[in-house]
Amino acid sequence: MNYHILKKDELDGFIKKLSKKMKVVAPVAKGTGNFAFQEVKAASEIALQYIPTILPPKKYFMPQREKMLDFDVSGAKPVDKAVVEAEEIAVFGVHTCDLAGIQCLNMVFSERPRDYNYLRRKDKIFLIGLECNDYCDENASCALVSSHIPSGGYDLFFTDLGDRFIIHVNTQKAEELVEGMGLARASHADTAALEKVREHKRSAFKNEVGVDPRKLPEIFAKGVKSKVWEDVGRRCVSCGNCTNVCPSCYCFDMADTINLDMKTGSRNRTWDSCQVETFAAVAGGENFREERSDRQRHRFYRKFKYSVDKFYRFFCTGCGRCTRTCMADISLKETLTSLVKENV
């Protein structure tokens, strides 16, 4: 696809034109160094320089609470009707770590049996990435998992070139949008400037753990009984913050809600967490992951071992949210570093 140019002072016009076509959400400053994706109407509302938002944009693909179907049991035979609550929406300013998380979710929910609620919602979302040119969060480990360089998964991708943005057009519907707005094509000088930005990133973003990431699956294979898990298990408070803010976590629970008429109701999906004690509880009072150390180990293996075995990629995107929100100060980078020292 093509590259186009948008001058910085034209961004407001771009956002306003886009908001006439669909709802637009973008990162917005919330104070005390926090940011969140929410609806915007003008470029002045958007935080172009931001550390990862409180919640990743997965909340638009997989809402925290979602109705799956309505049912009626008043007749001789129960009746149910599937529900897909989805709106056309543009998500602007998505960093590469969050784009990587969405790619992970796309793979999971495209497996059979496919999750059509997720897939139909995804088809209505117009994704606009935004390059983070500087290393902006001390908790991040994006260089370790190579999520700091864009690798697709978007419709448009913006890179700041100073007085202008260079925009990579990655899909046909994005091409139609850009052409409809009359954006100029990028010149050779623009693409050369983009390559300089990428060269700077490759040199500035260093592997945060200091181990060849290709060795991580082997290290995890050796570290099943590591004392590292006992340490994080003693500190963990099982709050579930780490999984709720993770761009690639997708565990959920289902519950039926009966209305007061005792005849109709709905089935609803809500986010769940493998770090909560009741998550692994089954009939008969058995809990196959009762210890917090086991649950923490499971979380790390889901990011660095199981996903590689099944999907050939890490499901950690290096965003640093889990470390930033952990009430027990459990650091993903420190945990990995300890595991590497023990098993190399």
Q: Peptide bond before 113: cis, by omega within 30 degrees of 0?
A: yes
Partners of residue 126 on adjacent β-strands: 90
Q: Give 37's contacts (C-beta < 8 A, 6+ positions apart).
A: 25, 26, 27, 28, 53, 55, 57, 59, 60, 91
Count the neighbouring beta carbons within 10 Å of the beta carbon of residue 221: 12
Check residue 131 and give its pLDDT.
96
Q: What is the DSSP letter of 54?
A: S
Check residue 110 and give its pLDDT.
97
Distances, alpha carbon 149 to alpha carbons 142, 152, 197, in Å: 9, 10, 10
Please name which of 336, 250, 341 lies closest in space to residue 301, comparing C-alpha atoms: 336
The Cα–Cα gap between 149 and 170 comes to 15
Distances, alpha carbon 128 to alpha carbons 152, 160, 183, in Å: 11, 13, 15
Q: What is the DSSP letter of 150?
A: -
User: Tens-of-pLDDT digits for all 344 residues of the chain?
Assistant: 799 999 999 999 999 999 999 999 999 999 999 999 999 999 999 999 999 999 999 999 999 999 999 999 999 999 999 999 899 999 999 999 999 999 999 999 999 999 999 999 999 999 999 999 875 688 999 999 999 999 999 999 999 999 999 999 999 999 999 999 999 999 999 999 999 999 999 888 989 998 999 999 999 999 999 999 999 999 999 999 999 999 999 999 999 999 999 999 999 999 999 999 999 999 898 999 999 999 999 999 999 999 999 999 999 999 999 999 999 999 999 999 999 999 87
Q: What is the β-pairing status of strands 79-82 and 89-94?
A: unpaired
Radius of gyration of the chain (CA): 22
Residue appearing with tokens 């998500």: 91
5 is written with which tokens?
């140019």
Cβ-contact 266, 69 below 8 angstroms: yes
The Cα–Cα gap between 309 and 329 comes to 29
Check residue 135 and give its pLDDT.
58
Check residue 285 and give its pLDDT.
87
Indicate if the alpha-carbon torsion angle 210, 213, 218, 221 is positive or negative: positive
